[in-house]
């Protein structure tokens, strides 16, 4: 009996017993649906995080002071310092001379340094309107390292730092809160932080990333109006406010092709000679590439673990396939005897029933793939992640469906193949 004939025979049997076939497939459908949905949501979450973190500069290396007792200053999610300068002695800070030496030692690896210094969080008020903000001093390269999109005006320049001009680059969200539809360029804002009040002239407006990492850190705000955004001023102005001339942290923008994870190790080794005798602090370096890799690995492990639990229903579905095949063989015992009496070999009988079991599992698997992909897409959208189907899990599901059909269909098929034709013909 040719494979095509076996396939047609299997489909004919499924049409004859529609309800029984559907109930048999149900375990396979539920299992595949659960696995695909979970893997799709996991792939969507992973893709979202990768896109978000890549937008923050996946090849950048963040270098920061770390207390040797692991109680060092925290860094904000954009790579800048928190306003804790009083906790660190000025002699502990990294200096411009250190950065120049690092640039000189690795000229082919370093594109530029992005430097920031946190002044503190606070508000700016105009009439009855206000906007929450974090005041940060930055150098010109900061906008490139953090992929800022300028909507109006310009960003901080080297000349602004040299002249210590009181200029500010603000977000479009702050502009909407304070100025409405008025042009903010050239207007002044008074910023009040915990320990400082000063006035700055707005020279540029950048686009606030409502889906970025900084936005995720604002989950506790009561409304969109209260979201705190960064206001950027010249680094030299921030250093004067903080009464500091060194850096707790900075970001190295690496050249294309540089392995940022390996380069981070070189940077730690470089600063080791400066801090080998420092009893309080050392220097640590990490890259977004290593963080993305760790997050991806963690999400993959979680998705696989949850999917493995959901796949238990596939075992139940496989047992259901074996059970229904045993029933089918019992009902068709005389048919098997007739086929063997007219010359069908054991192999042909075995193949016939294995094909039937595989067809049941593949059809159930395809239905499960459709349902799982749709359910996963809906779940991803509800969690506000762009839906991304897990191609690997879909291909795996097809393979698993075939394997279940062969594995759980072999025993009933082999039992049918070994029937004695005379006993089978006598079966009532």
| Residue 85 confidence class, pLDDT cut points 50, 70, 90 | very low
pLDDT of residue 409: 84
How many residues are listed for the chain in this entry? 428
| Residue 336 confidence class, pLDDT cut points 50, 70, 90 | confident
- 34, pLDDT greater than 60: yes
pLDDT of residue 386: 81
Phi-psi region of 353 (alpha: psi -120 to 50; beta: other; left: phi over 0): alpha
When the pLDDT of each residue in the chain is averaged and rounded to a whole number, the result is 82
Higher pLDDT among residues 85 and 163, named by residue: 163
Lowest mean pLDDT among 77-81, 90-94, 207-211: 77-81
| Residue 83 confidence class, pLDDT cut points 50, 70, 90 | very low
pLDDT of residue 189: 94
- Beta-bridged to residue 60, according to DSSP, are 253
- 56, pLDDT greater than 80: no
Report DSSP state, residue 222: S
pLDDT of residue 194: 82
pLDDT of residue 82: 43
* Residue-wise pLDDT tens digits, 206-216: 999 765 544 44
pLDDT (mean) for 52-61: 68
Are 147 and 51 spatial neighbours (Cβ–Cβ below 8 Å)?
no
* Residue-wise pLDDT tens digits, 169-189: 999 999 999 998 899 999 999
Give the residue extent of every domain in the chain. 3-52+297-426, 60-255
- 221, pLDDT greater than 50: no
Percent of the chain's residues with pLDDT above 90: 30
User: How many angstroms separate the CA atoms of 416 and 425, rounded?
Assistant: 13
| Residue 234 confidence class, pLDDT cut points 50, 70, 90 | very high
- 306, pLDDT greater than 90: no
Higher pLDDT among residues 231 and 329, named by residue: 231
User: How many angstroms separate the CA atoms of 277 and 119, rounded?
Assistant: 29
| Residue 322 confidence class, pLDDT cut points 50, 70, 90 | confident
pLDDT (mean) for 233-238: 95
Are 424 and 333 spatial neighbours (Cβ–Cβ below 8 Å)?
yes
pLDDT (mean) for 339-363: 84
Lowest mean pLDDT among 158-162, 305-309, 375-379, 396-400: 305-309
pLDDT of residue 232: 97
Report for 46-55, 213-222, 327-336: range of highest mean pLDDT: 327-336
Higher pLDDT among residues 230 and 325, named by residue: 230
**CB within 8 Å of 396: residues ≥ 6 apart:** none
Alpha helices in 342-387 (DSSP H): 346-382
pTM of the model: 0.61
Higher pLDDT among residues 204 and 289, named by residue: 204
**Distance (Å) of CA 140 to CA 132, 233, 234:** 23, 10, 9
pLDDT of residue 210: 67
**Distance (Å) of CA 141 to CA 145, 148, 182, 239, 270:** 6, 10, 29, 17, 22
pLDDT of residue 159: 95
- 345, pLDDT greater than 60: yes
pLDDT of residue 140: 94
């Amino acid at each position: 009996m040719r494979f095509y004939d076996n396939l047609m025979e299997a489909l004919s049997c499924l049409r004859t017993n529609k309800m029984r076939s559907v109930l048999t497939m149900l375990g396979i459908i539920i299992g595949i649906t659960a696995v695909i949905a979970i893997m799709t949501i996991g792939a969507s979450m992973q893709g979202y995080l990768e896109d978000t973190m890549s937008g923050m500069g996946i090849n950048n290396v963040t270098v920061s002071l770390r207390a040797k007792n692991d109680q060092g200053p925290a860094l904000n999610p954009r790579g800048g310092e928190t306003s804790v300068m009083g906790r660190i002695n000025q002699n502990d800070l990294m200096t411009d001379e250190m950065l120049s030496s690092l640039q000189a030692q690795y000229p082919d690896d370093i594109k530029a340094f992005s430097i920031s210094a946190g002044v503190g969080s606070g508000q700016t008020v105009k009439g009855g309107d206000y906007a929450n903000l974090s005041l940060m001093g930055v150098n010109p390269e900061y906008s490139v390292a953090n992929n800022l999109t300028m909507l109006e005006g310009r960003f901080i320049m080297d000349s602004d730092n040299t002249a210590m001009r009181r200029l500010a680059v603000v977000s479009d969200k702050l502009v909407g809160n304070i100025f409405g539809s008025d042009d903010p360029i050239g207007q002044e804002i008074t910023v009040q932080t915990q320990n400082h009040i000063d006035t700055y002239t707005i020279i540029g407006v950048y686009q606030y990333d409502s889906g970025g990492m900084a936005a995720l850190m604002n989950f506790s705000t009561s409304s969109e109006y209260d979201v705190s955004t960064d206001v950027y001023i010249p680094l030299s102005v921030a250093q004067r406010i903080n009464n500091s001339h060194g850096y707790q942290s900075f970001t190295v923008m690496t050249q294309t092709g540089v392995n940022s994870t390996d380069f981070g190790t070189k940077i730690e080794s470089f600063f080791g000679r400066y801090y080998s005798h420092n009893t309080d602090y050392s220097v640590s370096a990490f890259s977004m590439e290593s963080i993305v890799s760790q997050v991806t690995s963690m999400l993959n492990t979680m998705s696989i673990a949850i999917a493995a639990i959901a796949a238990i229903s596939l075992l139940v579905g496989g047992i259901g396939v074996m059970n229904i095949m045993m029933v089918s063989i019992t009902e068709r015992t005389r048919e098997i005897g007739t086929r063997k009496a007219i010359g069908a070999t054991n192999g042909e009988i075995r193949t016939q029933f294995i094909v039937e079991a595989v067809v049941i599992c593949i059809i159930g698997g395809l239905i499960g793939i459709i349902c799982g992909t749709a359910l996963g897409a809906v779940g991803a959208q509800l969690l506000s992640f762009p839906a991304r189907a897990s191609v690997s899990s879909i291909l795996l599901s097809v393979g698993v469906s075939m394997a279940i059909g062969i594995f759980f269909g072999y025993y009933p098929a082999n039992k049918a193949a070994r029937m004695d034709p005379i006993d089978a013909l006598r079966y009532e």
